[in-house]
A and B are shown apart, each in its own frame.
Chain A
Amino acid sequence: MFEARLTQSAILKKVLDAIKDLLTEATFECTDSGIQVQAMDNAHVSLVSMNLRSDGFDKYRCDRNLSMGMSIAVMSKILKCATTNDTVTMRAVDNPDTIEFMFDTPGKDVQAQYEMKLINMDQEHLGIPETVYSCVVKMPSQEFARIVRDLSQFGENITIACTKEGIKFSAAGDTGTANVKLAQTADSGESDSVTIEMQESVKLSFSCRYLNFFIKATPLCEQVQLSLSNDVPLVCEFNIGEIGHIKYYLAPKIED
């Protein structure tokens, strides 16, 4: 028996919004410690690693480890049927063909129940290599989203250059160039602070198309963490409230 309940479906709705444009289907690994998804997009250009800890749920029970292949599009459709204040319960038997989603509206005697067929998925065994990053930047997630949206108008790629002084985003195309520089702030730990931990300066270019997928996670938290090193994928990390995180990996563009 697997059962996981959140009193506010809002967080799960936001998680689905953060992955639905990147993943068509994914295996949800459910264990005693929580729910984990590690999946690549169809083009194998990016990887999404998501974790929801069992202690973050209002109720969590997982008697046997389960690997459930789910259609992200269908799951997203189902979660759109919940209002943000609904309690959501996910439930499955030990050898499931389906997963059940139940929505309870507080103060109302209404329960909605949706059953979704699981998918048999080819298991891609994916692992994330341990990496020491040259630069780790924490900045307001809304600021990052705005920069990605703004600069995407001017080119296919965004170049991120990070030094001790600050982080510079730039794009260039036929119509002109765009540059946005952020300096490190005096305060750290505030929602609007910019902090940079740097071993070595980096300058790397990334696809706007994918960065625009990643910023769909912006409503999940106030700060985003960018980890950069030469020749390894960028990590773009958002906390999922107090209960987990979502990390996106993307290889830098290389000169032909």
Chain B
Amino acid sequence: GKSQKNLLQYFKIN
């Protein structure tokens, strides 16, 4: 099966 990645870390500015 295929899973969906959470994008929060990709877009979050620390």
Which of B2, B11, B12, B13 contacts A157, CB < 8 Å?
Answer: B2
Chain A residues 42 to 65 lying within 8 A of chain B, measured CB to CB, are 43-47
Which of B2, B3, B7, B13 contacts A46, CB < 8 Å?
Answer: B7
Asked if B5 and A254 make an inter-chain contact with CB atoms under 8 angstroms apart, the answer reads yes
Please, which residues of chain B bring their CB within 8 A of the CB of A43? 6
How far, in whole Å, are A254 and B11 apart by their CA atoms in the complex?
A: 18
Asked if B7 and A47 make an inter-chain contact with CB atoms under 8 angstroms apart, the answer reads yes
Which of B2, B6, B10, B11 contacts A256, CB < 8 Å?
Answer: B2
Interchain Cβ contacts within 8 Å, total number: 49
CB distance from A42 to the nearest CB of B (A): 11
Asked if B11 and A127 make an inter-chain contact with CB atoms under 8 angstroms apart, the answer reads yes
Q: Is A249 positioned at the interface, with any CB of B under 8 Å from its CB?
A: yes
Asked if B3 and A124 make an inter-chain contact with CB atoms under 8 angstroms apart, the answer reads no
Asked if A44 and B7 make an inter-chain contact with CB atoms under 8 angstroms apart, the answer reads yes
How far, in whole Å, are A4 and B4 apart by their CA atoms in the complex?
A: 38
How far, in whole Å, are A255 and B1 apart by their CA atoms in the complex?
A: 6
Asked if A254 and B7 make an inter-chain contact with CB atoms under 8 angstroms apart, the answer reads no
**Closest chain A residue to B1, Cβ basis:** A256
**Count of A residues near B, CB < 8 Å?**
23
Asked if B7 and A251 make an inter-chain contact with CB atoms under 8 angstroms apart, the answer reads yes
**Count of B residues near A, CB < 8 Å?**
12
How far, in whole Å, are A129 and B13 apart by their CA atoms in the complex?
A: 10
Q: Is A69 positioned at the interface, with any CB of B under 8 Å from its CB?
A: no
CB distance from B12 to the nearest CB of A (A): 6
How far, in whole Å, are A253 and B12 apart by their CA atoms in the complex?
A: 20
Q: Is A233 positioned at the interface, with any CB of B under 8 Å from its CB?
A: yes
Asked if B3 and A256 make an inter-chain contact with CB atoms under 8 angstroms apart, the answer reads yes
Please, which residues of chain A bring their CB within 8 A of the CB of B10? 129, 233, 251
Q: Can you list 20 A-B contacts (CB < 8 A)?
A: A40-B7, A44-B7, A44-B8, A45-B5, A45-B7, A47-B7, A124-B12, A125-B13, A127-B11, A127-B13, A129-B10, A129-B11, A205-B2, A207-B4, A233-B10, A249-B7, A251-B6, A252-B5, A253-B3, A253-B4
Further 15 A-B residue pairs, CB within 8 A, beyond A124-B12, A253-B4? A40-B11, A45-B5, A126-B13, A127-B11, A127-B12, A127-B13, A128-B11, A129-B10, A129-B11, A157-B2, A233-B7, A233-B10, A251-B6, A251-B7, A254-B3
Residues of B at the A interface (CB closer than 8 Å) are 1-8, 10-13
